[in-house]
Amino acid sequence: MLNPHLKLNPKLLDPAVEQVPIRKGFGEGLLQAAETDKRVVGLCADLTESTHMLAFKQKFPERFIEIGVAEQNLATVASGMAAMGKIPFITSYAMFSPGRNWEQIRTTIAYNDRPVKIAGSHAGISVGPDGGTHQAIEDIALMRVIPRMVVISPCDAIQAKKATLAAAKTDDPTYIRLAREKTPVMTTEETPFEIGKAQIVFKSEKPDVGIIATGALLFKALKVAHKLSEEGKKVTVLNIHTIKPLDEEAIIKLAHESRAIVTIEEHQIIGGLGGAVAECLAAHFPVPIEFIGVKNEFGQSGKPDELLEHYGMGEKDIYAAVQRVVLRKK
Amino acid sequence: MVQQDGSQESFSMIENSSQRRHNASLFCTQNAANQAIENAILGQMPLTEEKVKLLETKAKEIRRSIIEMLIEAKSGHTAGPLDMADIFTYLYFHALKHDPKNPSWEYRDRFVLSSGHICPVLYATMAHAGYFPVEELKTLRKFGTRLQGHPHREWLPMLETSSGPLGSGISQTVGMAIADRIDNGRTSGKQFYCVTGDGELDEGNNWEGIMLAGKEKLQNLTVIVDRNNIQIDGFTEDIMPLNPLGDKWRAFNWHVVEIDGHNFRDIDRAFGEARAVFDRPSVIIANTIASKGVPAFERMFEWHGKPPGTEEEIKQAREALK
């Protein structure tokens, strides 16, 4: 059942559940963070409206820097501003930041230990019609591998807002992964959020399988869990909104209880959430794992849902993965 | 390893001027009307004959330190550090508003080294200016040293940035200047300096930063280009032509000064001009002789990235800098 302690959206499994783009929550969080902390500045690479930095720009024009289409400059100018005590938020599409400016992020932000917050919008394959060039499905891996970098992948707009507010309060370089498409609102303003603290969203006693999901696909995980529970299977679903630092304790505990894990992400399995969970469990408590995600290939144009199904991230794929992993249990 | 003659006298001069600047700046924060006075003090320090002699002596000491560091480290870069010794001496012993005893002093000018590989000259100059003991220079590139092969501010916190991968220093300095303008307007009294190599200008990130600085009219930003005409694979104009280099910067709305990077009078004129120009950032294209000071190595791109290694080379370097 849905975890009552998280005060989730009561209409979560209702077909008419409200849908809001995750990136919108970022925009609201940035505005709120800027209102309470004048150190917060915003830099954008010619995508101010679609990355939801517009409201911030309008309210704080003197703290907004238009960088133009120059993502390497976006990262390095932000590093310089952070050196003077600012807390810069930089936005572009994830494919370009952190996609194009990885080395600048690594050297001038992470190695330099500057509290720059990188918001990568339009992440994942569900950006859809723009096609493979614009579908960032490697960004978690790119950021996760950098020492010091915190990696947050919120599941909905409300969580994105909380993640943005939380990131503004830390000294850590931080990557916040945002999706373009409208996403079911699963959490509420009352749902707790703490960087690095995983959430049991759907809970069963002595689960047969543990599902670990990140980002908007958490919704599909919950629908599958709901269906399985109606069929008498016991499932627990963990929301990993912070991929780094990984809540290893929660993951190991779930593996201990369920002895079978399915990971779900809109990202390459290599180096993504699946990779992170596998690294953790291989070291601490090896159990069979099935991975839902992109399997070492590029995307293409299409509608979000047809792409998710084509690349093996649909509900039926999750359902099948659960069946497979249960069969692999010893 | 370093000749210390005359250093006592020069240090006291530095401390006096540093103190004076420090006091002036603190005073200025209490009364904005005194900003002009402070600027006058900071910007118009006369370069006397006596001071030129002092700088020449310091630059030679710093070159000696560079060579000894590289010999000890058995790896590192020779040409750039030697050819930038005069500019670095001018910066740390004349131009920069800084306090070696209080490196994080809020009102200091900011100095960013973009071409991190020439850090032997940065470390040597900082040591001679009093940031850390000259003896520590011998630890360059060794395990556990604060003097990493390319500068890292986590190891040596008095650095403004870590650098090594080329082409990102200008943009970071641009960010610093913009942040300072947000807080203090256009007359904060701080100058923002960045040293970059010429081969480094092949990197696109530079031109993104140069374009933004022109757009933002960052009048207190000065970039110094080490125009030594060499890079690892050869002469810059053979590898990737930069000329007409001054015109490129002018086209991005920068004020351009081209100088002899080994002539302190020339350097002083250029820095004064850069401070005076108010409607745009300035670039000083410092024409330098690669490996300046050791004639056997001068102008040769082969000396970009190696230390004096053979007995003959070590002897040549030490003889030349006697």
Please write the tens of the pLDDT for every residue from B262-289. 999 999 999 999 999 999 999 999 999 9
Domain boundaries, chain B: 7-320
B7-320 classified as CATH 3.90.1490.10: no
Distance CA A305, CA B172 (A): 41
Task: Return the higher-pLDDT residue of B34 and B87.
Answer: B87
Query: Looking at the structure, do residues A118 and A224 belong to the same domain, yes or no?
Result: no
Instruction: Tell me how close the Cα of B173 comes to any Cα of chain A, in angstroms.
Output: 6
Q: How many inter-chain contacts (A to B, CB under 8 Å) are there?
A: 95
Min mean pLDDT across A248-257, B40-49, B134-143 is at B40-49
> Is the full-model pTM beyond 0.80?
yes
Query: Looking at the structure, do residues A143 and A244 belong to the same domain, yes or no?
Result: no
User: Tokens at residue A146, please?
Assistant: 């950098």
Pick the residue from chain A with its C-alpha nearest to B203: A72
Query: Looking at the structure, do residues A180 and A242 belong to the same domain, yes or no?
Result: no
Residue B257 bridge partners (DSSP)? B284
CATH number reported for the structural domain that contains residue A284 in this entry: 3.40.50.920
Helix H or strand E segment including B96: none
Q: Which of A184, A204, A221 is the last residue of a domain?
A: A184
Query: Looking at the structure, do residues A9 and A93 belong to the same domain, yes or no?
Result: no
Q: Quick check: is A181 catalytic?
A: no
Question: What is the pLDDT averaged over residues A174-195?
Answer: 96
Query: Looking at the structure, do residues A149 and A197 belong to the same domain, yes or no?
Result: no
Query: Looking at the structure, do residues A143 and A214 belong to the same domain, yes or no?
Result: no
Overall number of domains in chain A = 2
CATH number reported for the structural domain that contains residue A30 in this entry: 3.40.50.970
At B44, the pLDDT band (50, 70, 90 cuts) reads low
Q: State the pLDDT at residue B14.
A: 38
Question: What is the pLDDT averaged over residues A75-96?
Answer: 98
Residue A118 bridge partners (DSSP)? A90, A175
User: Tokens at residue A57, please?
Assistant: 């720009």
Query: Looking at the structure, do residues A120 and A94 belong to the same domain, yes or no?
Result: yes
Helices (H), ranges, chain A: 22-36, 54-59, 71-83, 102-104, 139-144, 157-168, 218-230, 248-258, 273-284, 304-310, 315-327
Pick the residue from chain A with its C-alpha nearest to B181: A62
Percent above pLDDT 70 for chain B: 86
Cβ <8 Å between A83 and B162: no
**How many Cα neighbours within 13 Å face the side chain of B90?**
26
Q: Which of A158, A184, A210 is the last residue of a domain?
A: A184
Query: Looking at the structure, do residues A255 and A220 belong to the same domain, yes or no?
Result: yes
All residues of chain A having their beta carbon less than 8 Å from the beta carbon of residue B171 are 72-73, 76-77, 79-80
Mutate to test the interface with A, among B154, B172, B180 (most CBs of A within 10 A): B172
Query: Looking at the structure, do residues A148 and A293 belong to the same domain, yes or no?
Result: no
Average model confidence (pLDDT) across chain B = 89
Distance CA A242, CA A212 (A): 12
At B196-253, the pLDDT tens digits run 999 999 999 999 999 999 999 999 999 999 999 999 999 999 999 999 999 999 999 9
Cβ <8 Å between A108 and B209: no
Pick the residue from chain B with its C-alpha nearest to A104: B168
With a cut of 60, say whether residue B23 has pLDDT above it: no
Q: Pick from B160, B163, B174: which is nearest to A77 by CB?
A: B174
Task: Return the higher-pLDDT residue of B24 and B62.
Answer: B62
Q: Which of A184, A207, A240 is the last residue of a domain?
A: A184
All residues of chain B having their beta carbon less than 8 Å from the beta carbon of residue A77 are 171-172, 174-175, 178, 209, 212
Query: Looking at the structure, do residues A123 and A214 belong to the same domain, yes or no?
Result: no
Query: Looking at the structure, do residues A175 and A234 belong to the same domain, yes or no?
Result: no
Name the residue range of residue A225's domain: 4-15+193-327
Percent above pLDDT 90 for chain A: 99
Question: What secondary structure letter does DSSP report for B196?
Answer: E
Query: Looking at the structure, do residues A167 and A292 belong to the same domain, yes or no?
Result: no
